[in-house]
Amino acid sequence: MSYLYLAIAIVAEVVGTSALKASAGFTKPIPTIGVVMGYGVAFYFLSLVLKTIPVGIAYAIWSGLGVVLITAVGFIAFNQKIDTPAIIGMTLIISGVIVMNVFSNSVVH
């Protein structure tokens, strides 16, 4: 269940961050509500994850995959460009998450 909760936390954080962009500095009420709800759900589920997965591992996965997903959302929803160094960097982030999950003894399997 921990990895399901972590996935929910990641998706909720991406929703919250996307709503933050759309809120235009908290001047639009609907996206502002999305920010509060998204981050609330994200931190709640992250707190559940931390009962079984070490904080460093959970945060690395949460933030790393969050960066990749929010970059994709920015590209698709907000027409933000991604250059080659950004793609290389995100590939390294994904590689790091994979290495931690496959080879680290710190990760709960």
Domain that holds residue 57: 2-103
Q: What is the pTM of this model?
A: 0.85
Indicate whether 83 belongs to any domain: yes
φ, ψ of residue 26 in degrees (nearest 5) = 65, 30
Q: How many domains does the chain have?
A: 1
Indicate whether 109 belongs to any domain: no
Local confidence pLDDT in tens for the 109 residues of the chain: 999 999 999 999 999 999 999 999 999 999 999 999 999 999 999 999 999 998 888 988 898 899 999 999 999 999 999 999 999 998 998 898 888 878 877 766 5
CB-side exposure of 36: number of CA atoms within 13 Å? 6
Contact between 84 and 91 (Cβ < 8 Å): no
Indicate whether 49 belongs to any domain: yes
Indicate whether 24 belongs to any domain: yes
The alpha carbon dihedral of 99, 100, 103, 109 has a sign of negative
